[in-house]
Amino acid sequence: MKIFIDTADVAEIRDAAAMGVVDGVTTNPSLVAQTGRSYRSVIEEICEIIDGPISAEVLSTDLEGMLKEARDVATWHPNVVVKIPLIPDGLKVVRTLTDEGIKTNVTLCFSPTQGMLAAKAGATYISPFLGRIDDISWDGMELIGQLRTIYDNYGFDTQILAASIRHPKHVVECALIGADVGTMPHKVILQLAKHPLTDAGLAKFLADAAKIPPT
C-alpha cells in the first residue's frame, strides 16, 4: 500500500520524506488554511519536496468554476492531482478532466454508490473518508472493503485512497483489505514506527552496552 501524508505543513512533509516512506501528499482547504499561505505557494513547495502525486483541491462548486479552476491547478506542476468534490457536477468535471488527461482525486466519498460513480466517471483516485464515518458511529472500514470488492468485480482502474485515517489500526486494516493508498497525518506515520518493546529493548541493549569493557 502506498503511503501519502495528509498535511499542508511542509516541515512535517520534509520530516516524513527523510524517512523514505512518503509516496505522495494530500491536502484540503482546511489544512492549507492552517498554513496562512496561498494554496499555490504551498502546493509548489510540496512538489519540490516529494516526487509523487500531490492533491490540490478546487474551491469552486459550480460546473464551469470547477473546470476552470481544475485546468489552472493542473498547470501548477506535472505531479498535481486535482481534487474534486463528489457532487453531480463534480462527476461531470472528472469525466472532462479525465478525457483531457488530467488526473483527479474525487474527495468526500462516504458511500459505495458514490465510489462506483466516481470510478465510472474515470477518477484516478477515490477518497473515502473512513475516520469521519467512524465519527458518526458507522463503520468506515466497511466502505473501504465495499469499494475494493466493487472495483475488483468490474475491473475499475480507480485507486482507492483511504482518507481520514486516524490511527495505526486503520492503516493495518486498509492494507489487509487492499486499499491502494492510505493518506494519514504526520503523527500517524510516526505511530506506525513506534513499539514499546522496541523502546524497551533498545534501552536494555544500551544499558548492557555500558557494561562492556572498552578493550
163, β-bridge pairs: 129
Among the listed residues 17, 22, 26, 67, the single contact to ligand E4P using CB under 6 A: 26
* Beta strand pairing call for 104-109 and 125-128: parallel
- Provide the grid cell at 48: 519540490
Q: Please choose, out of 68-76, 90-98, 129-137, 152-160, the segment that lies near ligand E4P by the rule CB under 6 A.
A: 129-137
Q: Does position 7 bind ligand E4P by CB under 6 A?
A: no
Beta bridge partners of 183: 4
CB of 43 to ligand E4P, least distance (A): 14
Among positions 65, 131, 168, 178, the unique one binding ligand E4P when judged by CB under 6 A: 131
CB of 50 to ligand E4P, least distance (A): 15
Query: What distance lies between CA 165 and its chain's CA centroid?
Result: 9
- 159 near ligand E4P (CB under 6 A): no
Nearer to ligand E4P, 69 or 205 (CB): 69
8 A C-beta contact, residue 14 and residue 189: no
Question: Bridge-partner residues for 6, per DSSP?
Answer: 26
Binder of ligand E4P out of 40, 120, 132, 167 (CB under 6 A)? 132
Contact between 22 and 13 under an 8 Å Cβ cutoff? The reply is yes
Instruction: Name the amino acid, one letter, at 152.
Output: D
Q: Is 56 in the site for ligand E4P (CB under 6 A)?
A: no
- Size of site (CB under 6 A) for ligand E4P: 11
Question: Residue type at 126?
Answer: I
Sign of the CA dihedral running 4, 56, 115, 108 = positive
Active site residues: 83
Q: Pick from 47, 58, 86, 163 the residue near ligand E4P by CB under 6 A.
A: 163
Which residues of this protein are in contact with ligand E4P, per CB under 6 A?
6, 26, 28, 107, 127, 129, 131-132, 163-164, 183
